[in-house]
Amino acid sequence: MADINTIGVLTSGGDSPGMNAAIRAVTRTARFNNINVIGVMRGYQGLIEGEFVKFTSSSVSNTIQRGGTILKTARSSEFMTDEGRRKAYENMKQAGIDALVVIGGNGSLTGAQLFAREYDIPIIGLPGTIDNDLYGTDYTIGYDSALNTIVECVDKIRDTANSHDRIFFIEVMGRDAGFLAQNSAIASGAEAAIIPESSTAVDQLAEFIERGKRKSKNSAIVLVSEAQKNGVGGAFYYADRVKKEYPQFDARVTILGHLQRGGMPSAYDRILASRMGYAAIEALLEGQRNIMVGIKNDEIVYVPIQRAVKLDKPINPELISVLNVLSM
């Protein structure tokens, strides 16, 4: 191992269920290997402002089941400047931090890649985002929990949709990726999912309406990704189109918003975060640097951060076929 005596761990960007389980695993695996741990509060902004807390194994007791992040999180525009990163590096060195574990999504890992390149810092990334949009990993920390939250909400909304013969457009998060919308549609028995990956191929609304007419359905649930392209997209856009183009249908909108991020992590996310946190320290012990820990076919893998943030993660087209057939 390159001389790493102390690591810093931070969470950045949007919170996701399972981040605390990852912090716990990183901390306890590091301490098991006699590596000191410093928790960086409020992500990269805390690195710039020197908000450091010494972590021990007891610091992360009773956290695996908690949502959010005990380290807090923030988006830092200052870190995207040369001066901001210079301050962060100076604070790191003064605190004796030799390497970083960064838990976050695409933007957070992009910042990590830049920081590592400029200052030759060993950084290990953990994919903490409900969007599931990072290349090189089948699942990200928080995705499964968010999926379960969405399904629970959709199950409740369906009762009203059926009672009133309404079409509900339910908008979910996911940034520019349709994983949450597509898979929650399958899991909740929804009639359709409108996702950015299919937006250029067909008019997804027209296709859904025609399918519904053939089946004589007056009530329906449609999961809609929040992503917009050139002003096209989102639940309100499609509901407005229904009112103008198909006035015989009663369309309503529900935007689930930030409740998708909250709540206790699922068992799967706790296990995934624990495995990834453990693997992050193992990677540092092996002399690895500037990689993201991922999971492929239930096996831990190491992916260069540059590939994880720059390459698009494709959605499995079979999922679209499954939904179309099973929504009959």
Q: Which residue numbers are catalytic?
A: 131
End-to-end Cα distance, the chain: 57
Report CA torsion sign: 264, 265, 267, 273: negative
Q: Where are the alpha helices (DSSP H) in 165-203?
A: 179-188
For 234, which DSSP code?
Answer: S
Single out the residue of 188, 120, 122, 124 nearest to residue 151, CA to CA: 188
Q: Which two tokens stand for residue 261?
A: 């991020």
Q: Which of 92, 81, 101 is nearest to 12 (CA)?
A: 101
Q: What are phi and psi of 230, to 5 degrees?
A: 55, 40
**8 Å CB contact between 134 and 106:** yes
